[in-house]
């Protein structure tokens, strides 16, 4: 067994050396970049890239110009460090650069073989997923249906801020943690259609953050995958276990939503339900359960793994971005006191109107 493993390893190394030598003597149509000495040069660049990628890219930009090529392992990347070239590529030639490349091994796992909006190839599946999100969840008419959800989250946020302020005895509150929890609670409700308790929200949040915070640890698996999957097989197994744990947390909520949807259909469909106490809100999972797309010449639905991927994408995309924006808003309110006065006046208007009209 060890002999065959050694022979396989030597064959792979030999093929990589031949490929690298061939690339040295053939003119490449790619932008300039550092020449790669077979094996040694690649490992040197990999070491620098993992240690301090920012400094490495800045040095290469200064040496090779605004656009350069960097080959790391089996992956070739082109970096653009000029806003005019970036505009030319992404705006003026948007159709040329609209597609996505084939996903790396780890990204292929977390994207369910590129069945999400971020990594999916530009084509019918990407358009279907994007249209579903924008028209059925993020459309202004749909956003209004989440008014009660926003009120629920706002009450939670205010309660947590007041409680934390009281506990700390006016020593300051780490507001970003509360913003992040509030946004994640709102997105979880929009995703799964139910008001989850704190333990459930924390469980889902932990499964997402563990993957996000540790993802860079598994980047080494993307370089020469046939070799690294053998050399770092324990790390690869650890990564797959993380993904499995993530699905184990989300699938029960997906199944619960599927059951609710089936019960509503048996009772006559969501459009015919007249119960005034019914708090049903169309969730992201509901829309994903309805989707059908053409694959291998037949119409198919999303399986639980792909739905988990899209739910993770939805939860991760909106949490830190929105909570960070709220944090910056609060920082500017503290820094610029005149904004506080304008804000108070704007708040007083609707509140006073509500009191006079009997709505508050």
Dist CA 293 CA 130 (whole Å)? 13
The pLDDT value recorded for residue 201 is 95
Mean pLDDT of 240-265: 93
Q: Report whether pLDDT(87) > 50.
A: yes
**Residue 215 pLDDT:** 87
Under 8 Å between Cβ of 189 and 195? yes
27 and 161 co-located in one domain: no
Q: How many CB atoms lie within 10 A of CB 285?
A: 27
Query: pLDDT confidence of 24, banded at 50, 70, 90?
Result: low
Q: Is the pLDDT of residue 41 over 80?
A: no
Examine residue 270 and state whether it is found in any structural domain, yes or no.
Answer: yes
SS3 297: coil
192 in a structural domain: yes
Question: Is 274 part of a structural domain of the chain?
Answer: yes
- We report the CATH number of the domain holding residue 137 as 1.10.630.10
One domain for residues 36 and 178: no
Buried b (16+ CB within 10 A) or exposed e, 288-297: bbebeeeeee
Same domain? 259 vs 306: yes
State yes or no: pLDDT of 1 exceeds 70. Answer: no
Place of tokens 């390893």: 9
From 57, 80, 98, the end of a domain falls on 98
Q: Are 147 and 274 in a shared domain?
A: yes
Quick one: pLDDT at residue 341?
A: 83
Structural domain total, the chain: 2
Same domain as 178, residue 284: yes
Residue 301 to residue 192: CA distance in whole angstroms: 18
How sure is the predictor about 170, in pLDDT bands with cuts at 50, 70 and 90?
low
Q: What is the pTM of this model?
A: 0.80
Cα–Cα dist 242/239, whole Å? 5
Residue 295 lies in a domain: yes
What are the tens digits of pLDDT across the range 347-356?
Answer: 777 665 655 5
What pLDDT is stored for residue 175 in this prediction?
Answer: 86
pLDDT of residue 112: 92
Inside any domain, residue 301: yes
- Say which residue, 137 or 13, is predicted with more confidence: 137
- Percent of the chain, pLDDT > 70? 82
What are the helix (H) ranges across the chain?
2-25, 40-51, 53-64, 83-87, 105-110, 124-136, 140-144, 147-168, 175-192, 198-214, 225-231, 233-266, 284-290, 304-335, 337-357
Answer whether residue 17 is part of any domain: no
> Do both 144 and 74 map to the same domain?
no
Please give the mean pLDDT across all residues of the chain. 83
**Res 274: pLDDT:** 46
pLDDT at 275 over 70: no
36 and 132 fall within a common domain: no
**Residue 48 confidence (pLDDT):** 78
Residues 310, 183 within the same domain: yes
Domain's final residue, options 50, 79, 98: 98
36 and 169 together in one domain: no
68 and 174 fall within a common domain? no
Contact 351, 360 (CB under 8 A): yes
Q: Are residues 196 and 291 in the same domain?
A: yes
- Cα–Cα distance measured from residue 116 to residue 106, given in angstroms and rounded to the nearest whole number: 14
Q: Say what the pLDDT of residue 73 is.
A: 66
Q: Is residue 120 part of a domain?
A: no
Task: Give the lowest-confidence range in 25-39, 191-205, 211-225, 314-328.
Answer: 25-39
Asked if residue 146 lies in contact with residue 135, where contact means CB atoms within 8 angstroms, the answer is: no
In the prediction, which pLDDT does 276 show?
A: 45
For residue 149, the enclosing domain spans 126-343
Torsion angle (degrees, nearest 10) of CA 170, 176, 182, 187: 180
Q: Which of residues 48, 82, 98 is at a domain's end?
A: 98
Identify whether residues 188 and 328 lie together within a single domain: yes
- The verdict on residue 157 lying in a domain is yes
């Amino acid at each position: 067994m060890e002999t065959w493993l050694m022979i396989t390893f030597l064959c792979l190394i030999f093929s990589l050396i031949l490929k690298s030598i061939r690339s040295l003597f053939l003119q490449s149509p790619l932008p300039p970049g550092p020449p790669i000495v077979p094996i040694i040069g690649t490992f040197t660049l990999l070491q620098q890239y993992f240690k301090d990628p920012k400094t490495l890219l800045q040095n290469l930009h200064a040496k090779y110009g605004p656009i350069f090529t960097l080959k790391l392992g089996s992956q070739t990347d082109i970096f653009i460090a000029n806003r005019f070239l970036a505009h030319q590529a992404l705006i003026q030639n948007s159709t040329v650069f609209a597609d996505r490349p084939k996903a790396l091994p780890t990204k292929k796992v977390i994207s369910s073989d590129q069945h999400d909006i971020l990594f999916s190839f530009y084509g019918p599946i990407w358009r279907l997923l994007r249209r579903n999100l924008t028209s059925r969840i993020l459309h202004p008419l749909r956003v209004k249906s989440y008014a009660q959800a926003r009120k629920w989250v706002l009450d939670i946020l205010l309660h947590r801020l007041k409680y934390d302020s009281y506990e700390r005895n006016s020593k300051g509150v780490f507001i970003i943690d509360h913003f992040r929890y509030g946004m994640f609670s709102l997105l979880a409700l929009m995703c799964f259609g139910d008001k989850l308790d704190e333990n459930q929200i924390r469980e889902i949040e932990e499964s997402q953050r563990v993957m996000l915070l540790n993802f860079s640890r598994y980047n080494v698996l993307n370089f020469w995958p046939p070799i690294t999957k053998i050399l770092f097989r324990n790390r690869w197994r650890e990564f797959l276990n993380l993904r499995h744990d993530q699905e184990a947390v989300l699938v029960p909520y997906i199944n619960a939503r599927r059951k609710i949807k089936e019960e509503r259909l048996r009772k006559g469909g969501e459009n015919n339900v007249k119960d005034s106490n019914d708090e049903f809100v169309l969730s992201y999972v509901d829309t994903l359960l309805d989707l059908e797309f053409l694959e291998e010449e037949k119409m198919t639905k999303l399986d639980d793994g792909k739905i988990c991927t899209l739910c993770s994408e939805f939860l991760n995309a909106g949490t830190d971005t929105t909570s960070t924006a709220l944090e910056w808003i609060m920082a500017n309110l503290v820094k610029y006191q005149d904004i506080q006065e304008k804000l108070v006046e704007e708040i007083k208007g609707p509140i006073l109107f509500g009191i006079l009209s009997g709505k508050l």
